[in-house]
Amino acid sequence: MPPDDPLLKVDRLTVIFHGRERQTIRAVDGVSFHIDRGESLGLVGESGSGKTTAGRVIVGLTTPDEGIIQFCGRKLGHGIGHSSRQGMQIVLQDAAGSLNPRLRIGISVAEPMVLQRVGSRRDRLRQVDELLDKVGLPPSSAARFPRELSGGQRQRVAIARALAARPNFIVFDEPVSALDVSVQAQILNLLNDLRRELSLTYLLISHNLAVVAGFCERVAVMQRGRIVETGGSRAVFRSPQDAYTKALVAAVPRLGPKVVPLAASQ
């Protein structure tokens, strides 16, 4: 694959759910976008607009009704275990809150390596230490249980777990929405550092346009299953074209520069 081809290309993706009264919900309705290597694309939109469903389809947790996904130049088959999806990870909405409460952090972080049969037990222990260090946690956290950590620390664990599978592309679904604003900035900074250090490509899902605009080079705005606007983050944030995007921008509280420090990294 030529290096300037996008890493991920999604073409007319559609997911239809059937509600209780048998009504059809087009949760994702003909969505197309691409993400270049090393880029961060933000997917933003109000609750129920289809962001999570789009992310789940890309990583194979949900099967699309229509559409094509290309990753590393290859058309993807269905299913998360499909070999063509190697290299993809998702940090699910509330991943931090869903860590197994009975497992020590080290075991949770090692789990993807165990599933992929990576290395010996000793190799994995060493890698857990490295991963914890990468996400800014001390080695001693490996022996702790999720309830002993703060929300921000748990989110770091969820990130370490995703990294354990050695991905080159990660979907983050609302990675900071459950966190205090000051902790949000720390986690977003961590994600940005990891992206550079490990040459990662991201799809960042958030209902918060300020988070996305500060973090991502480009944004795609979703409303009722469709993408209504895409463009450079600054351009979309400063001069939105679509009426829905305008409303989203207007709804963003005026935040101080401390809270949106990542625009400088673009």
Ligand X SMILES: Nc1ncnc2c1ncn2[C@@H]1O[C@H](COP(=O)(O)OP(=O)(O)OP(=O)(O)O)[C@@H](O)[C@H]1O
Residues that bind ligand X (CB under 6 A): 17, 25, 27, 45, 47-53, 93, 207
User: Could you say whether residue 206 binds Mg ion (CB under 5 A)?
Assistant: no
How far apart are alpha carbons 102 and 90 in whole angstroms?
22
Q: Which is nearer to ligand X, 43 or 260 (CB)?
A: 43
Q: Report the DSSP pairing between strands 74-75 and 66-71.
A: antiparallel
The nearest distance, CB 170 to ligand X, in angstroms, is 17
SS3 content of the chain, % helix, strand, coil (to 5): 40, 25, 35
Q: What are the φ/ψ torsions at residue 50 (nearest 5 degrees)?
A: 110, 10
Residue 53 binds which entry of ligand X, Mg ion, none, with Cβ cut-offs from 5 to 8 Å by kind? ligand X
Cα atoms found within 13 Å of the Cα of residue 161, Cβ hemisphere only = 26
Beta bridge mates, 173:
205
The nearest distance, CB 52 to Mg ion, in angstroms, is 3
Give the DSSP letter string of 34-93: EE-TT-EEEEE-STTSSHHHHHHHHHTSS--SEEEEEETTEE--SSTT-GGGTTEEEE-T
Q: Which is nearer to ligand X, 63 or 239 (CB)?
A: 63
Span from 7-15, 91-99, 137-145, 232-240 in contact with Mg ion (CB under 5 A): 91-99
Nearest to 11 by CA among 35, 39, 36, 30: 30
The nearest distance, CB 95 to ligand X, in angstroms, is 13
How far apart are alpha carbons 242 and 101 in whole angstroms?
44
Under 8 Å between Cβ of 24 and 44: no
Cα atoms found within 13 Å of the Cα of residue 257, Cβ hemisphere only = 1
The nearest distance, CB 177 to ligand X, in angstroms, is 8
Q: Residue 225 has which token pair?
A: 């299953």
Site string for Mg ion, 28-67 (x = CB under 5 A): ------------------------x---------------
Q: Which is nearer to ligand X, 163 or 228 (CB)?
A: 228
The nearest distance, CB 131 to ligand X, in angstroms, is 27
User: Could you say whether residue 127 binds Mg ion (CB under 5 A)?
Assistant: no
The nearest distance, CB 231 to ligand X, in angstroms, is 20
Q: Which is nearer to Mg ion, 52 or 153 (CB)?
A: 52
The nearest distance, CB 123 to ligand X, in angstroms, is 37
Residue 48 binds which entry of ligand X, Mg ion, none, with Cβ cut-offs from 5 to 8 Å by kind? ligand X
* Count of residues near Mg ion by CB under 5 A: 2
Residue 120 binds which entry of Mg ion, ligand X, none, with Cβ cut-offs from 5 to 8 Å by kind? none
Q: Which is nearer to ligand X, 63 or 140 (CB)?
A: 63
Provide the binding-site residues for Mg ion, judged by CB under 5 A: 52, 93
